């Protein structure tokens, strides 16, 4: 049984509006079982239980408590969920309590209350801002192995989850006319006005309900149900990009999906993001129990949580008086107001006086006194204050156990600034507010520095109406006008950034500016003394305003401190950059549905299922997965590859070549076009015949190769490499559309239409003849009527096919193309017809060894984007008679013809069983230090055909080094010796394919 | 709320046509075979009987007909356009078509798409090539009421798109935009 929450006030009018006392919920914090109510946030439930200490700070490991009410919270970052479902660095103020919630504190060891790391606080005079730039410099190797790991362990926030996140995430792409960010009073007014004007409106509100903080001020308004308004609650606008493209993260209540990312394009964006209360820098202003005044009021009004037994409100403006008034009204103990202003005149000030609340004007809190290692406030010290005071002389003690602070309000301008919006400093509110923006962005209400409720509502409504009109392309109407009624009389805010202490800034008198990054007034002033006069440099040197918080509470306070330290006005100092995301965003939301089986769209050929059933090993080729080899039970990968190769050389093999790119090219200029894109000639190719082509870029380097068949006089079918299909199609279109629009050529990629299988080996023709007997056939397969490098269309075994008699293995070989939906049937028919001939399915590795035995290049292995036809010994394919082709002029550059270029050669290792690793470097002298590399291995295999290892390599002047033995030093000191030979290892006359 | 039904359409043949619609006689040549005029308005389509022509680009169309008629129709089109600068290819097996039925089909596709299909631009008959789940794809709005969308993707990624759609369409992840539900 848990004891009743000690700080939860009994039911009374005006407090606890959001909680349902009839629905208690159990949750744990660091394993301890606690109780809250439905409607609580984790923060309110913790406070109700008197859990003031919720985390340790980033650098000094100081005890920290809850400071804020919403997204401004910088201290209370916790982790929720266990194991793989764990999510760190969540703001306790944004977590809705549910039964069984398990939350843990962060950055403490061994426990939150007793944390070893807090010794950092004692040594803090040795680790000021920027300390890591000055220390840990020597010896050099220590940074990597000792200092950095230690700092990383000591500093930091939560721990990463231990495995894959089991929750589901998704994304959706939506457009709207008007997006309103923020469902407070002005945002609701904007959404309603825009919707009534006929626009398609989306309203995003980060909290579970609409209304913003109106309930903590002068009230709010409702949004009528309108069909053209889509309301997203629990949805935070994370980022604003060019042309009003925004990312909104919606938190759903379950795990399936857990979050949804809205990728939204809005014609108009209205920011009604409100304002963020800021703290004041005084000594030990980070102690648990020091909270923002609005937050104290919020926990009391919404969740009936008493901030303590006896409190102090410290302010420089009228709004915080509301907090004292509510505490008084709710009977939540005594409270005293400390106001830095000497003579404020506002209705709220008068009201507080009438209510009998003690008010000390012209005073400031100068120190917070605590017990239990800083975990419990005992009293505050108060001293007379006037702007510019350097050190208080006399202090008095006020016993209290909490402190509500308000240093004024900053319009939440983050989204305004994400994509270049300008700000101006407004001395009426002593904060930056939106100025100009290049995009169609509006800021209304508190986000625009308009804090009066009636004014904010009117501002929202006017913006909504005008934005809708502009989005819909209508002239702006003006049915809504600003209210004439005078706003409530309110005393002016006076800047109060730093309240000096009687002691030094450090030694237990730290004045925190940025709580999340442990940046103090002393750090900022030190940065100024050290010459970091640019505000961006100060930010980087001290880490002020960085990380997940992005300076929500610290930015203006820090600027105020810098202003006082340098004597420059705040607008002259300028602001630092605000970066997305607005609050921490989990990686799952960024990935969306694209994880697990949807991580990548892997392309499958029509024979894929058969290959899976055979237990194929796979190789990624572009987005395709191709069968690498087909090991039989008990067979190693190497044994399988050797078996497949020998089957092709001795009998017949079957390869799935469907992934090869296929492009149809047609038009009266098609032949001329191909003459320009290939180095060799295609206008001379006869209909019914095929030719291998070599494709260069403008620089003269090989980018693709493949066989092209002439289907008709004006009609060709080009084959490309598997990975190059899309790139080559785009390349062809680019030349046709941008360089040679006068050519009458049409290009259509057809890769996906066809399944294509290679039947290769001495028995290939016999297999096709057997297939022909099984059904309708009209293709004459005899060597005389179907010669090498010819193609035929027709029927075989009942299949509608194109057959190309081409070879990448050096054997007699036919590639049969069939419409994809018949692919699996044809594959099976070939296996059946080939069975008596020992047909063997072979994968890409066998394919590669077979071609290497023949010295054929693979684009991407033997070429790397800097290799010319001459380099790989294919000069013969470069036409000397054609007037032009892409890359021709570059091939004439002196340095591409000069001696010393790397040339393709074959290699035979001294030890025939030694297979050189791919990429191994040849050196001119293995003993030299350092050795001079002269080339590298591009392909290397164990050839079962030749019963020895073979390799291809690009070697400086390689072709003139025939017979020379080169040294290849490998990792570990071993040196492999290999002799340069012709890369044509097998059947140099090419007799086998020509039968 | 009604369920979104996803099924693969396997009985459609697809013919890719390229040519210059401004060339004299080209459109008449096509119309003489298809019995309907090529749609020239960007992102539009035209249909007659069992033939639907989808606009792909200023010089490209996808003609869908019953699968077993595609081969013959390709030959007839090629013959009719023999004197023209045109390319007719039977690509009946190059794409997989997923048909999504039910109010909310648009939202399901939008979970992978680069466009908002609830926009008034996307009424019945509209064709839009877009990126879907980071893949090249095309949406054809077949009917507004009942809501029917055809999603065209390349065959080699059909298995992936099926899984994506089924994931996106699961009832727990239902998205209703601007009250688009019965």
pLDDT digits (tens, 9 = 90+) for A790-840: 999 999 999 999 999 999 999 999 999 999 999 999 999 999 999 999 999
Mean of pLDDT values over A930-955: 97
**pLDDT tens digits for A759-796?**
999 999 999 999 999 999 999 999 999 999 999 999 99
Q: Check CB contact under 8 Å for B86 and A746.
A: yes
- Is there a contact between A542 and A519 (Cβ–Cβ < 8 Å)? yes
Give chain A positions within 8 Å (CB) of B94: 750-753, 820
**Backbone phi, psi, residue A596, to 5°:** 55, -130
CA distance A762 to A945: 14
**Which tokens sit at A331?**
């009977």
**Degrees to nearest 5, angle at CA A907 with A905 and A913:** 160
Report helix angle A725-734 to A670-677, nearest 10: 110
Residue A534: count of CB within 10 angstroms of its CB: 13
CA distance A724 to A622: 8
pLDDT at A56: 87
pLDDT at A504: 64
pLDDT at A153: 60
Q: Please report the number of interchain residue pairs, chain A to chain B, with beta-carbon separation below 8 angstroms.
A: 116
Nearest neighbour of A752 by CB, restricted to B94, B110, B116 = B94
- Strand extents, DSSP E, A281-394: 290-292, 310-315, 334-339, 359-361, 363-371, 376-384
**pLDDT for A505 beyond 60:** no
Q: Give the best residue of A167, A168, A172 to mutate against chain B (max B CB count within 10 A).
A: A172
pLDDT at A151: 62
B133 at interface of A, judged by CB pairs closer than 8 A: yes
Q: Check CB contact under 8 Å for B156 and A265.
A: no
Instruction: Provide the shortest C-alpha distance from residue A439 to chain B (in Å).
Output: 21
Nearest neighbour of A601 by CB, restricted to B95, B155, B157 = B157
- Is there a contact between A980 and A907 (Cβ–Cβ < 8 Å)? yes
**pLDDT for A138 beyond 80:** no
Nearest neighbour of B135 by CB, restricted to A228, A260, A601 = A601
Give chain A positions within 8 Å (CB) of B173: 168, 170, 256-257, 260
Nearest to A235, CA basis, from A251, A255, A259: A251
Q: Alpha-carbon torsion A894, A895, A897, A898, what sign?
A: positive
Instruction: Provide the shortest C-alpha distance from residue A602 to chain B (in Å).
Output: 7
CA distance B100 to B123: 15
Percentage of residues in chain A with pLDDT exceeding 90? 80
Nearest neighbour of B172 by CB, restricted to A256, A744, A746 = A256
pLDDT at A374: 80
Instruction: Provide the shortest C-alpha distance from residue B154 to chain A (in Å).
Output: 7
Nearest neighbour of A174 by CB, restricted to B87, B110, B112 = B110
Q: Give the best residue of B88, B160, B177 to mutate against chain A (max A CB count within 10 A).
A: B160
Query: 3-state DSSP: chain A helix, strand, coil percent, rounded to 5?
Result: 25, 30, 45
Instruction: Please name the residues between 15 and 74 in chain B that touch chain A, using a CB distance below 8 Å.
Output: 16, 18-19, 59, 71
**Degrees to nearest 5, angle at CA A921 with A917 and A926:** 115
Q: Give the best residue of A167, A171, A174, A745 to mutate against chain B (max B CB count within 10 A).
A: A174
CA distance A490 to A345: 7
pLDDT at A414: 95
- Is there a contact between A786 and A780 (Cβ–Cβ < 8 Å)? yes
Give chain B positions within 8 Å (CB) of A257: 172-173
Percentage of residues in chain A with pLDDT exceeding 70? 94
Please tell me which residue, A218 or A79, carries the higher pLDDT value: A79
Give the DSSP H/E element, type plus range, for residue A469. helix A453-471
- Closest residue of B to A169, CA-based? B173
* Residues on A contacting B at a C-beta cutoff of 8 Å: 168, 170-175, 200, 227-228, 230, 254, 256-257, 260, 265, 593-594, 597-598, 601-606, 624, 664, 666-668, 744, 746-748, 750-754, 800, 819-821
Q: Check CB contact under 8 Å for B94 and A753.
A: yes
User: Which residues partner with A948 through β-bridges?
Assistant: A943
End-to-end CA distance of chain B: 7
CA distance A321 to A664: 78
Cα A579–chain centre separation: 14
Lowest-pLDDT choice from A129-143, A166-180, A681-695, B168-182: A129-143
User: Which residues partner with A402 through β-bridges?
Assistant: A311
- Is there a contact between A905 and A916 (Cβ–Cβ < 8 Å)? no
Q: Alpha-carbon torsion B38, B41, B47, B48, what sign?
A: negative
Highest mean pLDDT among A502-506, A532-536, A910-914: A910-914
- Is there a contact between A870 and A893 (Cβ–Cβ < 8 Å)? no
Cα A792–chain centre separation: 50
**pLDDT tens digits for A836-882?**
999 999 999 999 999 999 999 999 999 999 999 999 999 999 999 99
Per-residue confidence band for A4, with pLDDT thresholds at 50, 70 and 90? confident
**pLDDT for A331 beyond 50:** yes
Nearest to A817, CA basis, from A751, A903, A892: A751
Q: What radius of gyration, in Å, describes the C-alpha atoms of chain B?
A: 17
**pLDDT for A680 beyond 90:** yes
- Is there a contact between A273 and A447 (Cβ–Cβ < 8 Å)? yes
Q: Alpha-carbon torsion A92, A96, A99, A101, what sign?
A: negative
Nearest neighbour of A175 by CB, restricted to B19, B90, B116 = B116
Nearest to A211, CA basis, from A189, A239, A227: A189
- Is there a contact between A799 and A744 (Cβ–Cβ < 8 Å)? no
- Is there a contact between A555 and A535 (Cβ–Cβ < 8 Å)? no
CA distance A625 to A605: 8
CA distance A545 to A539: 7
CA distance B30 to B17: 10
**Backbone phi, psi, residue A942, to 5°:** -95, 120
- Is there a contact between A43 and A61 (Cβ–Cβ < 8 Å)? no
CA distance B112 to B167: 11
Nearest to A91, CA basis, from A177, A9, A193, A206: A206
Please tell me which residue, A153 or A436, carries the higher pLDDT value: A436
**pLDDT tens digits for A247-292?**
999 999 888 999 999 999 999 999 999 999 999 999 999 999 999 9
CA distance A623 to B154: 13
pLDDT at A1: 40
Give chain B positions within 8 Å (CB) of A821: 92-93
Nearest neighbour of B163 by CB, restricted to A598, A746, A748 = A598
pLDDT at A130: 67
- Closest residue of B to A605, CA-based? B156
CA distance A301 to A312: 18
**Backbone phi, psi, residue B44, to 5°:** -115, 180
Per-residue confidence band for A223, with pLDDT thresholds at 50, 70 and 90? confident
Contacts of A649 (CB under 8 A, 6+ apart): A761, A811, A850, A945
Nearest to A15, CA basis, from A360, A250, A329: A329
Nearest neighbour of A746 by CB, restricted to B87, B112, B160 = B87
Give chain B positions within 8 Å (CB) of A667: 85, 87
**Degrees to nearest 5, angle at CA A404 with A398 and A405:** 105
């Amino acid at each position: 049984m848990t004891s009743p929450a000690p700080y939860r006030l009994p039911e009374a009018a005006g407090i606890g509006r959001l909680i349902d006392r009839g629905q208690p919920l159990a949750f744990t914090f660091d394993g301890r079982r606690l109780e809250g109510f439905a409607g609580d946030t984790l923060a309110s439930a913790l406070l109700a239980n008197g859990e003031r200490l919720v985390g340790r700070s980033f650098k000094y490991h100081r005890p920290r408590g809850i400071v804020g009410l919403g997204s401004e919270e910088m201290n209370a970052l916790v982790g929720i969920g266990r194991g793989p479902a764990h999510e760190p660095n969540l703001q306790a103020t944004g977590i809705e309590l549910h039964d069984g919630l398990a939350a843990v504190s962060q950055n403490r060891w061994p426990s939150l209350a007793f944390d070893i790391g807090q010794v950092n606080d004692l040594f803090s005079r040795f680790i000021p801002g920027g300390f890591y730039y000055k220390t840990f410099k020597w010896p050099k190797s220590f940074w990597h192995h000792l200092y950095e790991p230690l700092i990383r362990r000591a500093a930091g926030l939560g721990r990463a989850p231990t495995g894959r996140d089991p929750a589901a995430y998704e994304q959706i792409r939506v457009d709207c006319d008007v997006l309103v960010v923020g469902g407070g009073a002005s945002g609701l007014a904007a959404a309603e006005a825009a919707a009534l004007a006929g626009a398609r409106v989306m309203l995003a509100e980060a909290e579970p309900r609409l209304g913003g903080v109106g309930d903590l001020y002068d009230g709010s308004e409702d949004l009528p149900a309108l069909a053209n308004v889509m309301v997203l609650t629990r949805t935070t606008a994370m980022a604003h990009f060019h042309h009003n493209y925004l990312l909104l993260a919606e938190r759903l209540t379950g795990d399936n999906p857990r979050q949804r990312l809205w990728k939204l394009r809005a014609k108009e964006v209205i920011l009604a993001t409100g304002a963020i209360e800021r703290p004041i820098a005084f000594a030990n202003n980070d102690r648990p129990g020091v909270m923002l005044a609005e937050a104290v009021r919020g926990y009391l009004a919404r969740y009936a949580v008493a901030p303590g037994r006896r409190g102090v409100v410290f302010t420089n403006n009228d709004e915080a008086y509301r907090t004292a008034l509510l505490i008084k009204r709710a009977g939540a103990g005594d409270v005293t107001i400390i106001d830095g202003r000497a003579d404020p005149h506002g209705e709220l000030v008068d009201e507080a006086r009438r209510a009998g609340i003690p008010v000390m004007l012209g005073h400031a809190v100068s120190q917070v006194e605590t017990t239990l290692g800083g975990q419990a406030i005992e009293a505050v010290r108060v001293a007379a204050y006037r702007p510019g005071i350097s050190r208080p002389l006399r202090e008095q003690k006020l016993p209290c156990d909490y402190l509500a602070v308000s240093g004024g309000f900053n319009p939440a301008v983050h989204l305004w600034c994400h994509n270049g919006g300008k700000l101006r400093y407004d001395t009426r509110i002593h904060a930056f507010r939106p100025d100009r923006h290049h995009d169609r962005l509006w800021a209304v209400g508190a986000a625009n520095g308009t804090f009066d409720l009636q004014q904010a509502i009117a501002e929202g409504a006017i913006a909504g109406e005008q934005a809708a009109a502009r989005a819909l392309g209508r002239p702006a109407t003006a049915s809504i006008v600003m209210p004439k009624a005078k706003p409530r009389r309110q005393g002016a805010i006076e800047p109060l950034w730093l309240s000096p202490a009687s002691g030094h800034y450090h030694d237990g008198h730290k004045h925190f500016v940025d709580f999340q990054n442990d940046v103090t007034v002393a750090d900022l002033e030190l940065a100024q003394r050290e010459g970091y006069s640019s505000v961006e440099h100060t930010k980087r040197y001290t880490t002020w305003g960085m990380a997940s918080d992005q300076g929500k509470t610290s930015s203006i306070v820090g600027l105020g401190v810098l202003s006082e330290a340098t004597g420059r006005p705040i607008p002259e100092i300028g602001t630092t950059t605000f970066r997305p995301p607005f609050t921490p965003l989990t990686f799952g939301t960024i990935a969306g549905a694209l994880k697990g089986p949807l991580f990548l769209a892997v392309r499958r050929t029509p024979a894929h299922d058969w290959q899976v059933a055979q237990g194929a090993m796979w190789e990624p080729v572009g987005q395709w997965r191709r069968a690498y080899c087909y090991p039989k039970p008990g067979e190693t990968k190497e044994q399988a590859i050797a078996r497949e190769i020998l089957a092709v050389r001795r009998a017949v093999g079957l390869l799935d070549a469907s992934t090869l790119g296929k492009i149809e090219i047609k038009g009266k200029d098609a032949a001329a076009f191909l003459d320009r894109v290939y180095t060799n000639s295609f206008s001379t190719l006869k209909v019914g015949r095929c030719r291998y082509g070599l494709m260069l870029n403008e620089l003269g380097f090989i980018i693709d190769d493949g066989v092209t068949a002439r289907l008709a006089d004006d009609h060709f079918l080009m084959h490309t490499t598997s990975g190059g299909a899309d790139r080559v199609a785009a390349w062809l279109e680019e030349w046709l559309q941008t360089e040679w629009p006068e050519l009458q050529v049409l290009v259509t990629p057809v890769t996906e239409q066809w399944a294509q299988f290679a039947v290769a080996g001495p028995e290939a023709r016999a297999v096709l003849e057997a297939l022909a007997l099984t059904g309708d056939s009209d293709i004459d397969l005899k060597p005389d009527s179907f010669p090498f490098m010819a193609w035929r269309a027709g029927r075989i075994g009942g299949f509608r096919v194109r057959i190309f008699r081409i070879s990448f293995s050096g054997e007699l070989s036919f590639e049969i193309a069939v419409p994809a939906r018949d692919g699996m049937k044809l594959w099976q028919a070939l296996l059946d017809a080939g069975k008596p001939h020992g047909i063997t399915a072979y994968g890409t590795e066998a394919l590669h060894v077979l071609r290497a035995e023949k010295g054929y290049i693979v684009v991407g292995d033997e070429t790397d984007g800097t290799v010319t036809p001459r380099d790989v010994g294919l000069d013969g394919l470069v036409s000397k008679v054609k007037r032009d082709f892409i890359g021709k002029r570059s091939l004439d550059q002196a340095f591409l013809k000069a001696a010393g270029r790397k040339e393709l050669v074959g290699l035979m290792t001294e030890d025939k069983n030694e297979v050189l690793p791919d990429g191994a470097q040849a050196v001119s002298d293995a003993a030299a230090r350092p050795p001079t590399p002269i080339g590298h291995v591009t392909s290397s295999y164990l050839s079962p055909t030749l019963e020895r290892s073979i390799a291809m390599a690009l070697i400086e002047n390689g072709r003139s080094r025939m017979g020379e033995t080169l040294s290849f030093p490998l990792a570990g000191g071993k040196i492999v010796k290999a002799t340069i030979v012709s890369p044509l290892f097998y059947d140099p006359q090419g007799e086998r394919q020509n039968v | 709320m009604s369920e979104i039904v996803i099924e693969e359409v396997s009985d459609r043949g697809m013919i890719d046509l390229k040519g210059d619609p401004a060339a004299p006689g080209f459109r008449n040549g096509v119309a003489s075979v298809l019995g309907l005029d090529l749609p020239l308005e960007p992102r539009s389509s035209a249909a007659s009987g069992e033939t639907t022509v989808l606009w792909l680009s200023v010089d490209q169309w996808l003609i869908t007909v019953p699968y077993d008629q595609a081969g013959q129709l390709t030959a007839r089109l090629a013959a009719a356009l023999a004197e023209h600068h045109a390319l007719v290819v039977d690509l009946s097996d190059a794409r997989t078509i997923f048909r999504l039925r039910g109010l909310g089909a648009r939202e399901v596709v939008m979970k992978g798409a680069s466009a908002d299909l609830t926009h008034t631009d996307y009424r019945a008959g509209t064709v839009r090539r877009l990126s879907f789940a980071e893949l090249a794809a095309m949406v054809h709005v077949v009917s507004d009421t009942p809501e029917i969308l055809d999603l065209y993707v390349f065959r080699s990624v059909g298995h992936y798109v099926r899984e994506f759609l089924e994931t996106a369409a699961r009832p727990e992840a239902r998205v209703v935009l601007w009250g688009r539900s019965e």
